[in-house]
Amino acid sequence: MNVKRIAVAGLVAAGVVASGTVLASPASADTTSYLPGSGNWPVLRQGQTSENVRALQWFLSCEGYDQPAPSHFGPKTRANVHAFQQRYLTSQDGNVGAHTWRALLTTHTAPVGYGQRNNCVKGLQVLLNKWRYSDDLPISGYHGPRTKKKLIRFQSGHGLPATGTVDLRTYQKLTYTPAGK
């Protein structure tokens, strides 16, 4: 009996490898908030409203998934997340957890460095505005002196290298740390 199971499992695995298909199991749903090497991330689902959702919408827009950014995770946002996941991940549940955050923030084509102007910078500005510091940034999409100054202030206040350059660790802190902390 065990020989039959092993043979069937081997044939299924060979078929998956040969076809290039990756099967996503229910356990692959992106509802995990922790990834080794990249820390804790918020889990976002349809129906939620927050600044993290608004930033997510700008990052998706930057990646080519056009949509308004009303800060509400509605059907359009879920459809765009699902489309992004189909392209980059095996998990395709429309939720945004650690796997989707990491893929989204390490694959976008538009840079968010100093002097850049794009929707990815708008996402960064939304996240930086969670920390009021009495100087809210306009959501202009321009990474100029004010954005850089606020980014350095955030990094130095949260134990990160204060480089003024956004990286995955900075994004992780911006999204996961509750505002005001």
Which CATH number covers residue 56? Answer: 1.10.101.10
Binned at pLDDT 50, 70 and 90, residue 162 comes out as: very high
pLDDT digits (tens, 9 = 90+) for 29-80: 788 888 888 899 999 999 999 999 999 999 999 999 988 778 999 999 999 9
The answer to whether position 139 is within a domain reads yes
Binned at pLDDT 50, 70 and 90, residue 4 comes out as: very low
How confident is the prediction for the chain on average, in pLDDT?
84
Please state the pTM of the whole predicted model.
0.81
Q: How many domains does the chain have?
A: 1
The answer to whether position 181 is within a domain reads no
As a whole number of angstroms, the distance between CA 173 and CA 127 comes to 10
Check residue 30 and give its pLDDT.
84
Q: Is 171 exposed, middle or buried (0-12, 13-18, 19+ CB in 10 A)?
A: buried
Binned at pLDDT 50, 70 and 90, residue 3 comes out as: very low
The answer to whether position 171 is within a domain reads yes
The answer to whether position 106 is within a domain reads yes
End-to-end Cα distance, the chain: 57
What is the residue range of 129's domain?
A: 2-176
